[in-house]
Amino acid sequence: MPERPGDPVNNTRRYGMSRKRLFICVAAGLVLAIGGAGCSIGGDKETVTTTVTVGETTPTGGTGGTGKTVKIVASVPPTDHGWLGAISKDAKAAAEQFDDVEFELLEAADADSQAQQIEQAIADKPDVLVVLPQDGAALTPVAQKAEKAGIPVVNIDRLFTAPDAATATILGDNYQIGVLAAEYIADQLNCQGNVVEIQGLAGISVTTDRTKGFTDTLKKACPGGGIKIVASQPGDFNPDKGLTVMENILQAQTDIDAVYTHDDDMAQGVVQAIRNAGRDDEMFLTGVGGSQDAMQQIEEGGLYRATFLYNPNMAASAVNMARLIGLGQGFSELVPPEVPRMLVVPAAVVTKDNVSEYEQYAFD
Amino acid sequence: MSGRTEASGTSRGGALAQRAKGLEFQEYALAIVVVLLFVAGSILKPETFPTWDNVRNMLTQASVVGVLAIGMTFVIATAGIDLSVGSMVAAAGVFGGILIGDDGTSSLVFILGAILFATFLGSVNATSIAYGRVVPFIATLAMFSVGRGLALLLNDKLPVSLLDLNGGSFGDPQPFSLLWFGTGRIFGIPVSVFVLLAVTILGWIVLNRTRYGRYVIAVGGNREAARIAGVPVRRIIFSVYVLSGFLAGISTVLLCARLGSASPVSGNLYELDAIGAVVIGGTSLAGGRATIVGTFLGVLTFALIFSLMTQLNLSTEIQQVTKGLIVLGAVLLQRPEARY
């Protein structure tokens, strides 16, 4: 508030303000300013200011010829996981393609610090914010705040819970991942067998959608109900949790035909549990994501039979969208002059037959 | 005989006897919880739960946190805390992993590298607490953060595959190869369980039967009195954090051996499980009272709860509520009447 003295509403109010209230306002402003300054010094920022000149054709939208620079700030959860690491790499790479983009990537340790980082970013007044929230619901208010301050927000993958929190959204189709996995497993097992599901982190939409798509489709694909989900437990996208959970399930279930895991990184722990038990001939396993490790194992054949690509290059698309929004342009191939509100990136089945086509998208 | 060591004053006779009785009951109570959980599992899953294979599986799983918890018992006995063990496990694993390089196939390099690095991180904790006079909570909270950061930094956020160290073959690993520590067996008992038992027994002897153990308890019970009595307080405090780091290194080996890789995200929140096991075992967070047997039973309790609930395929929310209630119930059950 105190930062906008020109605001007419603010001005009229301020004259009528009691002294005490004025003091509180100023104090609050000071605290914000100090807090903000502290953040900008202490925060683990990584600034990528691009000076690369692009000689080749620029993707959709063109340069616009305005000479305007678009300042984009992206905020992502900690990239300690293969897929999230790929997200930040792809976003940076996309920003480097444009000489009219000034790009900054912020990494937050958790939802709270991500909210603080975004607050701070709003104060810096970038042209567009790109946010992959740690937790969509928790970060909705701060995204709404950005939108109200006139900074468009591009939301990646994990949805905000209010429609006015983002100008545009790009996401993978987690429900479809479940659908593809169910179709694949139903087909491989001829609708007959026991399936184990190792889920991601409990309580987030990614996990519930991947589970729901799977169970819904399994019912449709095998109306007789020949496939039984004998165990369904969260592995928190973490290899050592995947290992211990699978070890216990292997104890309880003497007959398993297929394992549907929600993530390639976590699946490595599950694979290890099965191998340690010497039961790798009994069942096969599928992953999600598209990591190099998974693709390599799929190519070699054996336990790891398929993964469902959840392409992290949606982050690159998000940066492209943010740039177009900043320039006030739309996709040149589409009729309207604005960027669409919602883009859904399709998932793909990667098996031994087609793994060579998808290896280019694999991440470490 | 009670496996508990206490910094008792000079009170003798009836009061002491009564207290000892209460304390003994406390340990038996946790043993009863362990038995009850096992019986419950055997009733609910009669074909698969009460099997030798399953017991072996639970003990193997318990070994990782169990080794950490023994170290944590010594730390908590001095009225300290070590919040960094999970992060040290991750950092030590990745450090050992990058030592191997592309061509090396030596398990020993990984094992020694991981243990030495964890011990080094532990001695950083030890130095800042014993000589820098930093509160243990803060010093180890800093290491919690630094350790996790190092784990991510050391190999550019990527896990290191250790499968080459296993010779690629599963089932009958070579003695003292990394895989041997994960899946190898001696007389049908997993090597990792031998490691856990060895660490537990050594911990019990050191805490209960050596002067060092008495010093640890004395420092936690009354630091000033210990100092006046000639206990080298600083050195004792220093040593327990080094020990905790060293055991985190051993725990790393046990985990990575089973996982076949060293992941920078592994060991997440292991410190809570370790601290929880120590405290439900009856060791006092205020220091001066510690029990290795109790810690061991606490570790078994957690392992049983986790194993049983996954095997019953309970949903996450039910698991969390149940786990919380069992832990609370176990603590209430073993609360001695004379604690206040």
Residue A21's pLDDT is what? 52
Contact B56, B62 (CB under 8 A): no
Parallel/antiparallel/unpaired status of strands B185-186 and B4-6:
unpaired
Q: How far apart are CA B266 and CA A242, in angstroms?
A: 11
* CA-based nearest distance A37→chain B, Å: 23
Interface residue B264 vs chain A (CB under 8 A): yes
- A26 pLDDT higher than 70: no
Note whether A256 and A230 are within 8 A (CB): yes
B261 phi-psi bin (left φ>0, alpha ψ -120 to 50, beta other): beta
Tokens of B171: 């089932």
| Residue-range domain boundaries for chain B | 58-268+283-290
B259–A79 CB contact, under 8 Å: no
Can you give the pLDDT at residue A80? Answer: 75
Indicate the pLDDT class of residue A43, thresholds 50, 70 and 90: very low
Tell me if residue B244 falls in helix, strand or coil: helix
- CB atoms B311 and A79 under 8 Å: no
Buried b (16+ CB within 10 A) or exposed e, B26-62: bbebbbebbebbbeebbeebeebbeeeebbbbbbbbb
- What mean pLDDT comes out for the span A275-293? 92
Q: What are phi and psi of A228, to 5 degrees?
A: -115, 130
Residue B76's pLDDT is 96
**B259:A203 CB<8 A:** no
Indicate if the pLDDT at residue A54 is higher than 50. no
Instruction: Find the closest chain B residue to A85 by CA distance.
Output: B157
CA dist list (Å): A339 to A148, A272, B209: 19, 45, 74
Mean pLDDT to the nearest integer, A281-290? 94
Q: Are B96 and B114 in contact (CB under 8 A)?
A: yes
Q: Tell me, what's the pLDDT at A108?
A: 87
In which residue are the tokens 């370790």 written? B274
A240 and chain B in contact, CB less than 8 A:
yes
pLDDT in tens, A185-216: 999 999 999 999 999 988 888 899 999 999 99
According to the model, what pLDDT value does residue B308 have? 92
Given a cut of 70, the residues of chain B with pLDDT beneath it are: 1-27, 101-105, 164-172, 334-340
B265: chain A residues, CB-CB within 8 Å: 80-81, 238-239
* Residue A86 binned pLDDT confidence (cut-offs 50, 70, 90): confident
- The reply to whether residue A238 touches residue B266, judged by beta carbons under 8 angstroms, is yes
Nearest beta carbon to residue A238 from set B171, B265, B313: B265
Name which of B61, B158, B306 is nearest A364 (Cβ-Cβ): B158
Instruction: Name residues 273-332 of chain A within 8 A of B (Cβ).
Output: 275-276, 278, 280, 293
ipTM of the complex: 0.85
More confident residue, A181 or B336: A181
Residue B51 is predicted with a pLDDT of 92
For position A33, what pLDDT does the model report?
45
Using a CB-CB distance cutoff of 8 angstroms, which residues of chain B are in contact with residue A278? Answer: 170-171
Bridge partner list, A199: A234
Min Cα–Cα distance to chain A from B92, Å? 15
Question: Is residue A66's pLDDT more than 80?
Answer: no
Say whether A248 and B306 touch across the interface (CB within 8 A): yes
